[in-house]
Amino acid sequence: MSKILGIDLGTTNSAMAVVEGGKPEIVENKEGNRTTPSMVAVNKNGERLVGLLAKRQAVTNPDNTLFSIKRFIGRKFDDTEVQEDIKLSPYTVTKGDGGSIKVQMGDKEYTPQEISAMVLGKLKADAEDKLGENIEEAVITVPAYFDDAQRKATKEAGEIAGLKVRRVINEPTAAALAYGFNKKNDEQIAVYDLGGGTFDVSILEVSDDTIEVKATNGDTHLGGDDFDQVLINWILDEFKKSEGIDLSQDNLALQRVKEAAEKAKIELSTADQTEINQPFITTSDEGPKHLVLTLTRAKLEELVHDLVQKTLEPTTAALKDAGFDKGDIDEVILVGGMTRMPIIQKTVEEFFG
């Protein structure tokens, strides 16, 4: 019997795992990374790029690089939230048959399911390479608040990618299973999930072999990308102050600043300070200019303070909806790359006491 692939199809990044000896093990992609950007692009030569390759050229090819497609899956074009998201998308989103959504890439139009299937297709192919066997079946996770249409569309994306989707399960439930909480009895668990694009907090009740989502809340536009943006703005401001040049209009420079910001953010989860160093970032009449800045963890924490605090309101609301106090929570599970940031761990710890 071939292995079933477990897939976290995220707004910004996706990941996959298989069960080895009763334990879930992350499967690395072809690039050797544990996560794959949920991005698809078509370059000037008409080649399709998926994952990291798409991300690396996103700023210089904004019209034909699709990201955050999960925000559109299973939704209708006229939904208020969809209309808000379209305003933030550099790529073209149009209305399809029956009020559905189409996105444009190159000279073709696609459904969100077809784009998501390209991401899933890469995950499937990479897993097959890594494991040396065919993968035919998958379990895919979705946010707890996804409705029936969004779940069906996610399943359809899997099928387009050539996967038989055995189950679509809630992300917080999957997190609880991964940590073995299904073996516990009568516990209340909070799952605090701060990903690349979204923040979700769920309150779960675990009893004999069942995990029930009691309440869920969050902010669909709060995640690692926003933390990166705050840092990008700081870098651009500092460079403008010292050199008098605005890099925000220069797409090639901006792509480099964006990558440097994300790298610095990640490094500061383990280091106290880091150097942002991008030689030959631009040229002026005086000659080439280099971007060299030192960033401390303290400065980063000051910059992102408001964003971190912003996660507490939905957390309070979820507790209230579940009918629990902070003291009723037995365990907190931190999910998503952003929760590796020490300030976030500290804030959550202080909140739950």
**Options 193, 225, 226, 228, the catalytic residue:** 193
| Selection from 57, 13, 104 nearest residue 337 by Cα | 13
Give the whole-angstrom CA distance, residue 153 versus residue 282: 44
The SS3 call for residue 195 is coil
3-state secondary structure of 75: coil
Q: Of 70, 122, 258, 289, which is the active-site residue?
A: 70
Catalytic residue among 3, 8, 126, 289: 8
Distance CA 34, CA 25 (A): 10
Residue 8 known to be catalytic: yes
115 Cβ contact partners less than 8 Å away, ≥ 6 residues apart? 40, 66, 69, 103, 105
How far is it, in rounded angstroms, from Cα 44 to Cα 346?
45
Whether 70 sits among the annotated catalytic residues: the reply is: yes
Eight-state DSSP code of residue 68: -
114, 171, 226, 262: the catalytic one is 171
- Please indicate whether residue 97 is annotated as part of the active site: no
* Number of neighbours of residue 171 by Cβ within 10 angstroms: 25
9 CB-side CA count, 13 A = 38
- The DSSP-derived string for 110-169 is E-HHHHHHHHHHHHHHHHHHHHTS---EEEEEE-TT--HHHHHHHHHHHHHTT-EEEEEE
Maximum C-alpha span of the chain = 71
- The answer to whether 96 touches 21, Cβ cutoff 8 Å, is no
Could you list the active site residues? 8, 70, 171, 193
